[in-house]
Structure 1
Amino acid sequence: MPKDTYIPCLLQLFRHYGYDGATLARISEATGLGKASLYHHFPGGKDEMVQAVMDYLDAWLAEHVLPSLQGDDSALEKLQRMCDRLSELYEAGRQPCITATLLLGSARDLFHDRVQARYSAWIRAVAQVLVDAGLDLTTAQQRGEDMVITIQGSLIVAQGLDNPEIFQRSLKQLPQQLCQNLGT
């Protein structure tokens, strides 16, 4: 099978165990591939596996989240669509964020630039929606950062309390918070 077949499984493993906890033994068991087959598909080992997962997530973001911020709809409608897509990605708060797990432990330095680029692009896209709706650039940028803080924080708390409704509530409130004082 092509290596793309294993990306969803790898995503789950790295989401739940992080880079250090997703051992080759766990990966082998979850994918059904022996270590030799894993290295056949991913000669660069776990680093290449994580890169493949991040490529998948970057493509998902580019295909589902960023386009939701386009169009002639109001800023509020665009941001609500974005939150709907994020709810899909995180299974309504039942799945942790791989980005958070990768920034912990030994993998932080390996993937920091990639994570930083993803967050920066997302913040810029949200800030642009808010600027287009009449907000000044500095405030729009800060609200974009607040968006990431709200999403990541609510995911962590939802996981910690085993209560996905926390994430769902945050996503429901987020578009209104971002559009505060815009009149949308």
Structure 2
Amino acid sequence: MLKHLTEVFRHSGYEGASLTALSSASGLHRASLYHRFPTGKPGMAAAVLASVERSFEDILAPLTSEPDPSAAVAEMARRVGVFYADGRLACVLDTMTLRGAPDEIRAAAAGLAAGWLSAMTDVAQRAGASAEEAGRRARAALVRIEGALIVARVLDDPSEFQLALAELPQTLVAD
């Protein structure tokens, strides 16, 4: 069910995700949705972000478990590609923070992005970059990934996203 709710938020944003669309996507009547999510749409959005957070724990795991920083980044990139269907899916962190999203939802999305930045900064430092340089590399990597997702969606061509992922090891851990 969370997968279906995620798709509605991914495609419509927070404000555009109507209860009708959420009900239809989940296959549940509104009353059943409210039974599962007593706070309504904010609760559904929070559950979706919690699910995304669990996914990102798995996506980012190689950055701490793989001893070779370059291999770690390459595996993280592969997992990011799977999560975003090789650039065919919009970023749920982006769409969930569009107009109308409650502050708690924006804060949760910001926390996920900050965790991603922190993990990439750490692996860049492990590869020998200074703290300042590692932070710059991590931000550049995140901007490249997110920007490539937008380009892939707008042009209906995921190749730029796939290129961004292929270049991630060079972006984060190159000398």
Q: TM-score, normalised by structure 2?
A: 0.95
CA separation of 1:71/1:37 partners in 2, compared to 1, >3 Å: closer, same or farther? closer
Count of equivalent residues = 175
The question of whether the paired residues in 2 share the 8 Å contact of 1:102 and 1:108 is answered with no
- Tell me, yes or no, if structure 1 residue 152 matches structure 2 residue 146: yes
1:51 aligned onto 2:38: no
Q: Find 1:86's aligned residue among 60, 68, 80.
A: 80
- 1:81 is paired with a residue whose SS is helix
Distance 1:108 1:84 in 2: 32
Give the partner amino acid of 1:142.
R
Q: What pairs up with 1:10-159 in 2 under 5 angstroms?
A: 10-62=5-57, 64-107=58-101, 109-159=103-153
| Counterpart-to-counterpart distance in 1, 2:111 and 2:23 | 30
Return the offset for 1:108.
5.8
Conservation of the 8 A alpha-carbon contact between 1:96 and 1:155: yes
For 1:78-120, what per-residue CA distance to the aligned partner results, in whole angstroms no more than 9, with x for missing partners?
Answer: 1100100000100111110111111211116342211221111
Please provide the CA RMSD for this pair: 1.3
Gaps of 5+ in 2: none
> Do the aligned partners of 1:75 and 1:179 also contact (CA within 8 Å) in 2?
yes
With 26-35 and 42-51 compared, the bigger mean Cα shift is at 26-35
Q: State the Cα distance separating 1:173 from its structure 2 match.
A: 1.3
- 1:128 deviation in Å? 1.0
Aligned to 1:174: 168
CA shift at 1:56, angstroms? 0.5
Residue 70 (structure 1) shift: 2.1
